[in-house]
Structure 1
Amino acid sequence: MNKHSLTRTFWHYTIPAVAALMISGLYMVVDGVFIGHAMGATGLSAVNMAWPLSGVMLAIGMMIGMGCGARCSLAQGAAQMPQARSYLAQTLWLLVILGIPTGALIVLMGPAFMAMQGARGELATLGNDYLQVLGWAAPLVFGSIALPLLVRNLGAPRMATLAMLVGALTNVGLDYLFIIVWQWGLHGAALATVMGEGLSVLVCLGYIFSRHNPLGLPLAACRFNLGHSLESLTTGFSSMLMYLYMSLVVVLHNLLFMHYGSPLQVAAYAITGYLMAFYYLFAEGVCGGMQPLVSYFHGARQPEKVRRVLRLGLFTAVGIGLLMTSALLLLPSAFVGIFSGSDKALLEASVTGIRLHLFAMFLDGFIVLAASFFQAIGQARNATLVTVGNMLIQLPFLALLPLLWGLNGVWLALPLSNICLSLVVIWMLHHQLQTLKPLDGAAPHPV
């Protein structure tokens, strides 16, 4: 990481990481496109009601991947190779140890979870079909998130991107076959997703156990280490909370839209969710490219390089976020039409949602970048505070605004709460940067 210019190194890690997660976003977006055109608002409503439980699996996979990846990079930066190998091995253990019971719970809880959100009849059946497939394949779902992160931290970001690309292209082809041609509905959508993710996992495992892995992974290093596993999960805890926060927000919005509106609003919310998730994954990709560098330079005690990497990350994530937000606000019908087809009622509801719900979308990128930065330097407490704050601050907005403004209040709760939280996060980030002292004790340069 010290062989080339810092900017070049940043882009070397960030471009493949962004590409990998944007490709990962194709899993969700392509599902939404095919479901919207083949099944209309009913299919979109059902998958949106089922998504929060699949979001739990994504959350745990992110916790494993980000936690083990950060710890592995910190150990490599400190030239502690045996410990780095151990953190790598814990990833494989945790996929199984956490994957099997989580999947079983999702299979068992699926029907009650759909009913709790107000799903009845066809909505409930479609959502349960989706959750059954994902639940039985939970370790694969975990692995499709965690293993590319590990491969990237091993210095092979292009291989991680290739793994994601193979899975995404497989998912696109199978979605068309299962949903459009064979009309398997949400069961087919979930099956296509799982099969694509399975191929991604196989590619990553092939690299980890190959001679191209710079750490190597001999059998002696594959022992389960409870201490290292707990350290990794603690470090990655904030990443899990970010996805749990997303799941919680989706559940609350579904409940409120069903109360103040109908499944049509839930379907419109699903479309705005696909669009926002695409940017969110872009921001996560920037975080993914930034994290190994921040962890390495922090472990090597080079604080000025830590600051420079953070500046590059903020410029990329927030700047692109502003451009994407502007495009959505200027051309909402064009983006909605990708999912809604000829359904005019769904088009109108979704355009309203974009204008009210996504006008501050770029702040999501800033918040996730700040949490990732704290995580990368081992400040799990601050990272967790940002994420928990993101969850808690939404509750009063979701409780009060719908009472005042009805459906519009539901749409506005997320952006207004993010504006308030961002002010606090800016202060936290500034305070943390002031504590990063150079080795010679000189005052740090301003950000």
Structure 2
Amino acid sequence: MYFETMQPTRLFFHCAIPSMVSMAVSSLYTVADGIFVGRFIGQDALAAVNLVMPLVMICFALADMVAVGSSVQISILLGRREEDQARVIFSSCVKLIAAFSCLAGLLGFFLARPALLTMGAGENVTELAAQYIRVYAVFSPLVMVFFAIDNYLRVCGKARYSMVLNVVTALGNILLDFVFIVLLRWGIWSAALASCLSLSLGTVLAMVPFFRQKLKLYFVRGILSLRQLGHLLANGSSELFTNIASSAMMLILNAVLLRIGGSLAVAAVSVVMYVDSIVNSLIFGLADSMQPAISYCHGCGLRARVRALEKRVLLTAAAISLAALIFMRSCGGGLIALFVQEGDSSLLTMSLRAMELFSLSYVVSWVDACLGSYLTALDRPGRSLAVTLCGTLVFPVLSLGILAPLWGLDGVWCMPLAAGVASAVVSVAAVATMGQTGGTSESAGPQE
């Protein structure tokens, strides 16, 4: 397989570019929601989407846990030439994801409103948020599978096909947003409907190659042992807790913002997070794109090749983050204006201040994201989970608890920088003390 034979730099671009484009474009459907909702529905609707999105992401976290954990195991097995067992894991995990998605949909539909009320949001914002999340709950089986199946396409070397699917999905979402919100004036629930319809189409198209049985993975009969299931869930637990911890952090952050600055502050941070989602999608797309190759080479025992690939990930992530920092501090005002209704100067001013301070976090925020993904690819779930929890929950909560009482809203905007520095130190220490990545062979394929 080309994972072990292609020159590392060429392999890096072969895997990373389609995945980064896929992630960046797929993030546009969220950004498109923000632009259409903010400009054509209003400030309360923008705050409602930001309040409810963490709950949506928690539901997706279950599918992500199974998909990432199993794709690492599948890549290692393919590297060991154990293709039959890899297919059993793939088939079993797709079924498991479908079951999880049905459960998540039921919980989301019936428990969304009580969860929102506990956060202290006003009645209008709560009602708008409930409308939004219930659409996702109805479509959850198809939507959650879409976010999972992308991992298996990349394992099979179909990164470009995945990229095309994400582009088609994002463009379809933007078109439907325009039709539903601008032309038909259907309201906030139609923003969720636009996303779910386009993602459902993406799921159907993504499943086609696996049913045709022309890839290394396709559906077979077989059952995972409890030991295998426990191991892959443990390895994917870092991704689960990344989503849950980051979503929980957003819930905590929103609660703090509601207390300090009201729904205006929640709307302001949502604008910044929409812009930040594009940068994050590039970083995570970059890191995730190399997981199959790193896991495969790890299974083959190619330690030098593993290190060469990760070095390219880190250098590229640092360059992207630096460019984002410069761009957001020089052109942030123009971006923010896309999300704000004309004449809403208070939201524009607060969002500009938030972006000015928040953007400083890009100096270090890429470190734990890349190294956490690296540890997952090497089948080190314990270390990966520790890095994830520190970076997405522990240090952000501690930083928020210290800085918000001292500096108010400015303390909230500075929290990502403080948390990023601490998590970067922990993630570097986790990798530095790991020892050898395993395996014995250093000779197969070009290394550096």
TM-score by length of 2: 0.94
Instruction: Report the residue type matching 2:150 in the other structure.
Output: P
Distance 1:373 1:293, change over 3 A: same
Which string of whole-angstrom CA distances, capped at 9 and with x for unpartnered residues, describes residues 194-228 of structure 1?
A: 1111011111110111132133434x35x465444
- Rounded Cα–Cα distance in structure 2 between residues aligned with 1:441 and 1:263: 57
Which string of whole-angstrom CA distances, capped at 9 and with x for unpartnered residues, describes residues 246-275 of structure 1?
A: 211211111111111121110010011111
- Rounded Cα–Cα distance in structure 1 between residues aligned with 2:442 and 2:139: 52
Is residue 2:382 matched to residue 1:395?
no
The offset of 1:341, in angstroms, is: 4.0
Distance 1:205 1:438, change over 3 A: closer
- Rounded Cα–Cα distance in structure 2 between residues aligned with 1:440 and 1:170: 46
Distance 1:438 1:120, change over 3 A: closer
- 1:356 maps to 357
User: What's the RMSD between the two structures over aligned residues?
Assistant: 1.9
After superposing the two structures, state which structure 1 stretch, 207-216 or 96-105, moved more.
207-216
The offset of 1:21, in angstroms, is: 0.9
The offset of 1:141, in angstroms, is: 2.2
- Rounded Cα–Cα distance in structure 2 between residues aligned with 1:97 and 1:258: 35
Gaps of 5+ in 2: none
Is residue 2:165 matched to residue 1:163?
yes
- Rounded Cα–Cα distance in structure 2 between residues aligned with 1:200 and 1:78: 31
Q: Provide the identity percentage.
A: 25
- 2:375 maps to 374
After superposing the two structures, state which structure 1 stretch, 144-153 or 58-67, moved more.
58-67
- Rounded Cα–Cα distance in structure 1 between residues aligned with 2:439 and 2:106: 49
After superposing the two structures, state which structure 1 stretch, 392-401 or 69-78, moved more.
392-401
- 1:384 maps to 385
Distance 1:216 1:256, change over 3 A: closer
CA contact (8 A) 2:299 2:439 kept: no
Is residue 2:278 matched to residue 1:278?
yes
**2:93 maps to which of 71, 91, 94:** 91
**1:182 maps to which of 176, 181, 184:** 184
The offset of 1:121, in angstroms, is: 2.3
- Rounded Cα–Cα distance in structure 1 between residues aligned with 2:102 and 2:65: 16
3-state SS in 2 of match to 1:211? coil
The offset of 1:440, in angstroms, is: 7.4
- 2:288 maps to 288
- Rounded Cα–Cα distance in structure 2 between residues aligned with 1:121 and 1:206: 44
Shift >6 Å, 4+ stretches:
none
Counting only pairs closer than 5 Å after superposition, residues 20-419 of structure 1 correspond to structure 2 as: 20-218=22-220, 220-221=221-222, 223=223, 226-342=226-342, 343-390=344-391, 391-419=393-421
Which string of whole-angstrom CA distances, capped at 9 and with x for unpartnered residues, describes residues 348-384 of structure 1?
A: 1100100122211253322111111000010000000
Which string of whole-angstrom CA distances, capped at 9 and with x for unpartnered residues, describes residues 396-439 of structure 1?
A: 2222221111111122222211111211212222223x424773
Distance 1:430 1:107, change over 3 A: same
The offset of 1:2, in angstroms, is: 2.9
CA contact (8 A) 1:163 1:200 kept: yes
Distance 1:407 1:440, change over 3 A: closer
CA contact (8 A) 2:303 2:441 kept: no
3-state SS in 2 of match to 1:358? helix
Distance 1:166 1:224, change over 3 A: farther
The offset of 1:318, in angstroms, is: 1.8
Distance 1:234 1:321, change over 3 A: same
3-state SS in 1 of match to 2:41? helix
The offset of 1:291, in angstroms, is: 0.4
